[in-house]
Structure 1
Amino acid sequence: MEQVAFIVWRESVEALLVVGILYAWLRANPVAGQRGMAYLWGGVGLGLLLSGLLALTLLGVSSWLDDTAQEYFQAAMPLVAAALIVQMVVWMRKNGRSLKRELEGGLASNASEKNWWGLLFLVALAVAREGSETVVFLYGSVAGSSRGGSLALAGLGGFLAALVTFQLLQLGGKYISWRWFFKVTEILLLLLAGAMLNSGVEHLIGMGVLPAMIDPLWDSSAWLDESASIGKLLADFAGYRSHPALSLLVIWSSYWIATTWLLRCVSRQ
């Protein structure tokens, strides 16, 4: 549930940022804003609809597959979600500083040409991107779970927390700054991606697709049990395992080495 709340919170804040930038530009330009507001909210609705269709597609694909194919599908989705999280973090590090300028530039171009449908699709793509990421991340983290009601409440709680967080961020850094928000959530997202990676790799090891090599490499459950309290939190958010297989540890370590190197390269650029 903690994963669901965090994912919905983080992605909702980013979606609110995108919509907020475009909304503020339209409010500051009344001539364009009179026509543009309807297309702005139409784009938000279309983006949410596209995200919902993706969610239904994933659920439909899962239900159509036979048992063996479902096993592979549920093993693949956490790996896909982990890869998308890393891609998102890298993209934000490269483009975060120019995001506002690029969004406003695209909006100004569409408004000057009275291309209101272009504005609608600009907003729809921006919202659909955040919504699609949320759908994939959620599916990758909760695939196979039967706690639908609890997960829905966690998602609602995450969205409400996002509304509060966005309002605090809009106060200009008085309580919390955008720089701090992105730095902290970047770390948490990478930790979560590592946990999803471990989940997918464990699934593949259990299916016999990947060799365990040595299983378990150690057993630290007596000191920190991954099924309770702090151990469970670390397992859900950082991929901690009290009795890991050697191959799992190698892949998880390789993930952190490769991700750290990639982010350093991006920062130098």
Structure 2
Amino acid sequence: MLAPFLIMLREGLEAALIVGIIASYLHRTGRRAWLPVIWIGVLLAIALSLFAGAALLTLSGEFPQKAQEAFEAVVGLIAVGVLTWMVFWMRRASVSMRDGLQGGVDRALAAPTGATWALLGMAFFATAREGLESVFFLLAIFQQSPGPMMPLAALAGVAVSILVGLLIYRGGVRINLRLFFRWTGILILFVAAGLLASVMRNLHEAGVWNHLQLVVVDLSAMLPTSSVFGTVLAGILGYDDTPTVGEVLVWAAYLAVTLPLYLRPSNLRPPAMARPLPVEARS
């Protein structure tokens, strides 16, 4: 339950910060009349994400068993790619996010025609990116851990992100967003590694990959996936009580590459006087 909660909290906060920066800049510069355009873009993006999720769920239910496993493997690979890209994108973009978005708003409103569509597009694509990323991750994690708890945890993460985003926007709370995104980024890399290991299981069950299937260790007696703690680990890190050589290798190889790259010092420096991932409070 922790993985969908934290990832949806992070995804929701990313979207809330981007939209909040745009909205607060419009408010501060006396352009409040454009705010409804921003909210329309957000609502359209949410609708698109819900439609995409429903379509994928419907499509997956039409497949026979082996094709279902192959579909889950494809979704899992996409989710791993999306999560990895998300972590590294935020690491890079957080330094100059405010200045870039405010410059985009100025350019959109300075255009002789099409300002409405330009602003709507900024809000729409910022929110749709986070929403579609979430669709693939949630579909992959729900396939691993069926039941109501994972969706409820994801909804809780979204609800908390909206609340925190509103508090940040109105200046009612200040948190170290750079530190928050850094530590959740590390957790997400471990989640992605677990998803990648589950992709290997799906490919084997689909009959596509039948190599390196020797079980490394049998933990089914000590910590079965059917136990409470085993279920939690499976939902968060993709834990399996009988991991194979292939699963362990892809898990370790992924983290061996991504963790050092993510933790290495960044050459980018925030602008002077900028707070970590700054968000201008509503004045």
Q: What range is the shorter-chain TM-score in?
A: 0.7 to 0.9
Q: Name the structure 2 match of 1:57.
A: 55
Return the offset for 1:158: 1.8
1:210 equivalenced with 2:209 (yes/no)? yes
Q: Deviations over 1:69-120 (max 9, x none)?
A: 2221112211210111001111111212111111111111112226121111
Q: How many aligned positions are there?
A: 266
Q: Is the 8 A contact 1:94 1:266 kept in 2?
A: no
Larger helix proportion of the pair: 1
Which deviates more, 39-48 or 164-173? 164-173
Distance in 2 between residues matched to 1:146 and 1:218, nearest whole Å: 25
Distance in 2 between residues matched to 1:144 and 1:87, nearest whole Å: 22
Q: Deviations over 1:198-251 (max 9, x none)?
A: 221111123332235353111234444443243433332223333211111111
Q: Is the 8 A contact 2:46 2:128 kept in 1?
A: yes
Matches within 5 A, 1:161-200: 161-166=160-165, 176-200=175-199
1:42 equivalenced with 2:28 (yes/no)? no
| Letter of the structure 1 residue corresponding to residue 14 of structure 2 | E
Return the offset for 1:264: 5.7
Q: Name the structure 1 match of 2:71.
A: 73
Please state whether the residue corresponding to 1:181 is helix, strand or coil.
helix
Which deviates more, 47-56 or 63-72? 63-72
TM-score, length basis structure 1: 0.87
1:120 equivalenced with 2:131 (yes/no)? no
1:140 equivalenced with 2:136 (yes/no)? no
CA RMSD of superposed structures (Å): 2.6
1 or 2 for the larger relative contact order (CA 8 Å, sep ≥6)? 2
Mind listing any 5+ residue stretches in structure 2 that lack a counterpart? Answer: 269-283
Distance in 1 between residues matched to 2:185 and 2:163, nearest whole Å: 19
Return the offset for 1:265: 6.9
Distance in 2 between residues matched to 1:138 and 1:24, nearest whole Å: 30
Q: Name the structure 1 match of 2:15.
A: 15
TM-score, length basis structure 2: 0.83
Return the offset for 1:44: 0.8
Q: Is the 8 A contact 2:91 2:182 kept in 1?
A: no
Q: Percent identity between the aligned chains? A: 32
Q: Is the 8 A contact 1:62 1:70 kept in 2?
A: yes
Distance in 2 between residues matched to 1:198 and 1:40, nearest whole Å: 40
Return the offset for 1:154: 2.6
Return the offset for 1:144: 7.0
Q: Is the 8 A contact 2:189 2:259 kept in 1?
A: no
Q: 1:3 to 1:268 in 2, by over 3 A?
A: same
1:156 equivalenced with 2:163 (yes/no)? no
Return the offset for 1:169: 5.2
Q: Is the 8 A contact 2:10 2:181 kept in 1?
A: no
Distance in 2 between residues matched to 1:10 and 1:238, nearest whole Å: 17
Distance in 2 between residues matched to 1:56 and 1:266, nearest whole Å: 40
Q: 1:151 to 1:264 in 2, by over 3 A?
A: closer
| Letter of the structure 1 residue corresponding to residue 73 of structure 2 | A
Distance in 1 between residues matched to 2:44 and 2:265, nearest whole Å: 32
| Letter of the structure 2 residue corresponding to residue 140 of structure 1 | A
Distance in 2 between residues matched to 1:188 and 1:163, nearest whole Å: 21
Please state whether the residue corresponding to 1:143 is helix, strand or coil.
helix
Distance in 2 between residues matched to 1:56 and 1:214, nearest whole Å: 34
Return the offset for 1:151: 4.1
